[in-house]
Amino acid sequence: MTLRASLMASIEALKKEVALMADYALSNLKEGLKSFKTNDFDLAKEVMRKDEEVDRYEEEIAKQALKIIWKEQPVASDLRLVTGILKLITDLERIGDHASDIAEMTLHLENTRNQRVMPISTQMSEIVEEMVLMSIRALVQVDDNLAKKVISRDDEVDELFQKLILKMTNELKNEKIDPNEAIYTLMVAKYLERVGDHAVNIAEWIIFMVSGTHKNTLLF
């Protein structure tokens, strides 16, 4: 096998591991949200336990990426890709953390739900899940145009978060929601908003892989 072929094989293996990590983190996010919506305490505890697997992925992928840099000595676009992966796995790990955080909120709530509030957080979760999934596809394909679409959806999440805050304030003012439930529902929404931010971060690193520019700053 030539040096170039060896490098390409190593990079493809690295991308595959990152895709597996991303799928795992996204699955945890979906299950964390499901546990919150359905008050499934057992599922919530399982999601919290699975967070350790996401952490393991991050550690192993970082080792693999550093090994490629040391052993294969990639240059230009190949080096940008490996460097970008080293950066974005931190955001994937944080998405896994927020999935666990959402699951933990479930353990603080009773069986009741204010259905006038939940539709907003559900809409947020659907958009955020789409953003994460789109960022995974953009990574696998190294597609900066798809990455830009991820970034463009972030405003929708922010607007829904502000809408939820306003709705929650009115519900509390009119004593139509339990204060404890309001707090934890709002915290879940904040975690969703942060997941959206991490999806944007991943997209920005994918753009860097293609262009060498990160947040309008040319790095290499």
- Domains of the chain and CATH, by start: 3-218 (1.20.58.220)
Beta bridge partners of 213: 218
pLDDT (tens digit, 0 to 9) for every residue of the chain, 220 residues total? Answer: 576 677 788 888 998 999 999 999 999 999 999 998 888 899 999 999 999 999 999 999 999 999 988 887 778 888 899 999 999 999 999 999 999 999 998 888 766 666 667 788 889 999 999 999 999 899 888 899 999 999 999 999 999 999 999 998 998 888 888 888 888 889 999 999 999 999 999 999 999 999 888 877 666 5
Q: Quote the CA–CA distance of 128 and 198 in Å, as a whole number.
A: 10
pTM of the model: 0.92
Q: Is the dihedral of CA 55, 210, 15, 78 positive or negative?
A: negative
* Contact criterion met (CB below 8 Å) for 140 and 206: no
